[in-house]
Amino acid sequence: MQFIAGNDTLIARRGGETLRIEGWGRDSLRVRAVMYDDWTGNDWALTETPEETDCEVQTGRDGDGMPCAQIRNGRIMATVNFAGVISFFRDGALILREYYRSYGGTISRGSRCLKIVNREWKGCIGGSEYQLTVRFDANDGEKIFGMGQYQQPEMNLKGSLIELAQRNSQISVPFMVSSLGYGMLWNNPAVGSVMFANNRTEWIARSTRQMDYWITCADGPKEILRNYTGVTGRAPEFPENLMGLWQCKLRYRTQEEVLTVARQYQKEGIHIDQIVIDFFHWTLQGDWKFDKTYWPDPKAMVDELHSMGIRVIVSVWPSVDRKSENFGPMMEQGLLIRTERGAAQTYDYQGDCVEIDPFNLETRKYIWEVCKKNYYDFGIDGFWLDNSEPDYGVYDFENYRYCEGPALSCSNMYPQMFSRAFFEPMEAEKEETPVNLLRCGWAGSQKYGNVIWSGDVPSTFEAFREQLQAGLNMGLAGIPWWTTDIGGFMTDDVNDPDFRQLLIRWYQFAVYSAVLRMHGDRGPYDIPPLDDRDWGGGYLHTGQPNELWSYGEENYRIMRKYYDIRIAMHDYIKALYREAHENGSPLIRTMFYEFPEDEKCWEIQDQYMFGPDYLVAPIMYLNEFERDVYLPAGTWENVNNGETIQGGCTIHVNAPIDEIPVFRKK
């Protein structure tokens, strides 16, 4: 192993690999390696200028006379031994070490015959990329959180196999937070996986030209997230007039339907901050314009909604139907995803479609110019960038290619590039923060005005429970603007009393989350289409009504009650959004985020903190009207009855249908 020491950088070369470790922000190191002569030049998620570092680099020999080196930046230190194995230390204590079981020794000089190495490069046959595997020793008793959104009951990811790939309702944001006081970003948008097994951790990128990860250490998760968002970016200031109720359903089919709903809300004395116009308001996918048959005067509609203080957001998909007026020009100019084999098709819902390639700057310019002319210039305030993974007809990533390279090498960054097609020109046009709604994101997406929701999830209590852990882990991955479809997306029968109970419990939870948003595909589908065409805004089905008053008087009373609670918390919620902007803190937080010294808080996943003051214990089982709640040490007030309770204990509380347990820290 050959070592070269710089002022704040350590270079090591061995076996054709060049390894580079350097200080990158507060108590943090960036680690890169290539099997080429030079670096790729991609910073990927590490877009922000890091804070000044205070690095010390030393080279020398170990006790056995073998070459070794170390680099220290504040509280974090990395050592590299003669076999190229890296070990990381926080305040001198080992926190992470690469896994190496081969000839040439482990951390000591003892050889192994397993021939399993720490960084394994396997050339992709016929290409210039490698499949890269990076291995680390497992730490006993470690808990791992973050990594984005996965539809599973476990919040602690230790023992989980995680696919690093974007799908509808699955979001790969590869930043992990460890209970041992460190965080690590896998700074690579390649499709792959990570296994947090009990015997070792193994990261895999299926097609890449460079290893790149970033590691930081701190006393607790709040400081870890501050360091992480300091180098990947933080959410901008959230508009104050979007902190209340967003109204949506699948789907408002006409201009008059939208206005009728808005007028009724005004009559009821309920202010909605934003109304959402969902998919197939258009003529064809990829036309990106209103069907004039049902939306004859969008500007007049928007003007009336604005007069009520209601913003308007409209759905835009990345799919382009072959019959669309934009298909020919975009295909000719190379603005669509390419397939490696077979027909040029990537998506087949309601049409033979190819999706856009947002890695191409010209694609981003093209779609914005069309959407500006057909939406933004009418006064539309934001865009619902649905199917933003993108939602492939078949998730055969090896069959798709972008201008950036094979989809296998960069597809996880697709939703972020899609969002930038809208955020960047909108930001340039007006002073206020653009806010767009997306179904997916990646590391650093928080800086592009993305409200990310959890996708098309079932309307079940099981799915509800999964959304809580998903949202908490999204927050720990640096995504503070996160929401769900209240009641879940897919409902067979809105008249089912079990569904209505789920809806109320989900709504109560949503009041204590970043965005309060009504949405869902509500059956039964007994509403006839508006016309018999097989295209345009009239032919596709619509769901049942989904306004607050749509579910009976008693449920309406409960939702009105919790709506009032949300509005009364406006100043508090505003402060939470400000904190997200200033230090990266999410709005909904794991218990250990606020109480890292309380070991019990590291085990709890069925209650959470809404900011620093409110402890929320949602009801997530059918016919559950009481539950246990753990209160950390301190004084707490039950907001439902005003009772004062000393914490450090578990209490049993009632939860009738019109209440969920919420406690305020005093």
Catalytic residues: 386, 389, 456
Q: Are 214 and 185 in contact (CB under 8 A)?
A: yes
Long-range contacts of the stretch 114-121 (C-beta < 8 A, 24+) = 118/84, 118/85, 118/86, 119/17, 119/33, 119/84, 119/211, 121/17, 121/35
Rounded-to-integer distance, Cα 153 and Cα 462, Å: 8
Nearest to 261 by CA among 295, 314, 316, 310: 310
CA angle 483, 489, 493 (to 5 degrees): 140
Nearest to 388 by CA among 341, 445, 465, 310: 445
Rounded-to-integer distance, Cα 511 and Cα 442, Å: 26
The pair of structure tokens assigned to 33 is 């390696």
Nearest to 556 by CA among 262, 305, 266, 270: 270
Rounded-to-integer distance, Cα 39 and Cα 187, Å: 14
Nearby residues of 559 by Cβ (< 8 Å), 6 or more positions away: 504, 507, 548, 551
Per the document, the length of the chain is 666
Q: Are 529 and 503 in contact (CB under 8 A)?
A: no
Rounded-to-integer distance, Cα 374 and Cα 632, Å: 53
Tokens 């009641």 sit on residue: 487
Q: Are 644 and 666 in contact (CB under 8 A)?
A: yes
Nearby residues of 382 by Cβ (< 8 Å), 6 or more positions away: 274, 311, 312, 313, 314, 434, 435, 436, 437
Query: What are the distances in angstroms from CA 558 to CA 172, 261, 555, 624?
Result: 35, 20, 5, 17
Tokens 């460890």 sit on residue: 178
Mapping DSSP onto H, E and C, the string for 155-167 reads CCCCCCEEEECCE
Tell me the one-letter amino acid at 16.
G
Long-range contacts of the stretch 572-577 (C-beta < 8 A, 24+) = 572/611, 572/613, 572/614, 573/243, 574/240, 574/243, 575/611, 576/514, 576/610, 576/611, 577/235, 577/237, 577/238, 577/243, 577/480, 577/514
Q: Are 45 and 443 in contact (CB under 8 A)?
A: yes
Nearby residues of 342 by Cβ (< 8 Å), 6 or more positions away: 399
